[in-house]
Every structure is written in structure tokens, then in C-alpha cells.
Amino acid sequence: MIDPNVLDAFQLMWGNFPEPATLVHKSREVIAVNAACKSIGRVVGMNCATHGGPEAHRGCLANQALSTQQPAFKKVKFGDREIISYWLPVDGYPELFVHFGVGTMIDYDAISK
């Protein structure tokens, strides 16, 4: 059972983030999703690695983030643009991480400077 305070904290911090964000267990079970994540079809209880094609999960850094308890990130190609994908361990909960990508829903290069 996940501490309800962790679920509340996830929604407080990530609920309105404009990019998809998930709280994931080391088993890859999705524990919580934000609104942007719901809009692309991720749901609580699913295995995060089953959303999208297998190529979307190549180079996943979840195990690295969990084993080191340090954030991990990488740039990946997503359609015609690059996104930065992050895996953030949750302090005090070594079996959990937050996963999100910047550039998934918003094309930041297209925004006027």
C-alpha cells in the first residue's frame, strides 16, 4: 500500500504540470498520473512499459535512478522533436520514482522567443 501522503504530494506538485507525469513503483506499476498523463491514456494500475511502442522504452533509466537514488535524464527523439525524459527517485520511498518528459506535449522550439 502506498502512503496516501505520497499520493497527495504527487498531485500537489505534478497535478497541473503541463506535461505527462507519473508516479511509478519499481515493478513498473503506475501508482498515480497527472491530468496531462490521463489525456494521453495512462491510467493508474497499468504497467508503464506497456504504454506506446517498445521503442519508446528503449534506454529507460528507471533502474539506474532507483539503484543510485539519484535523478536520471536523457534526450530522446519523439516524432520530429527531442524531449528530455526524467526519472526522479522519491526521497524516503526507494521503490518509487516520478517519470516525466519535457517536450512531450508542448513544442517548446515553436514558441516565440
Residues whose CB is less than 8 angstroms from the CB of residue 109 and which lie 6 or more positions away in sequence, other chains included: 81
- b/e map 1-32, b = 16+ CB within 10 Å: eeeeebeeebeeebeebebbbbbbbbeeebbb
Question: Who has greater pLDDT, 47 or 96?
Answer: 96
Domain count, the chain: 1
Q: Give pLDDT, residue 34.
A: 98
C-alpha cell at 58: 528503449
How far is residue 80 CA from its own chain's centroid?
20
User: Hunting for cell 498520473 — which residue is that?
Assistant: 33
Whole-structure pTM value: 0.90
Residue-wise pLDDT tens digits, 34-92: 999 999 989 999 988 776 665 666 779 999 999 999 999 999 887 788 899 999 999 99
Q: Give pLDDT, residue 46.
A: 92
DSSP assigned state of 70? S
Q: Which of 4-8, 12-16, 75-79 has the lowest mean pLDDT?
A: 75-79
Domain that holds residue 24: 4-110
Q: Give pLDDT, residue 56.
A: 63
Residues whose CB is less than 8 angstroms from the CB of residue 13 and which lie 6 or more positions away in sequence, other chains included: none
Instruction: Report the CATH number that the domain containing residue 24 is assigned in CATH.
Output: 3.30.450.20
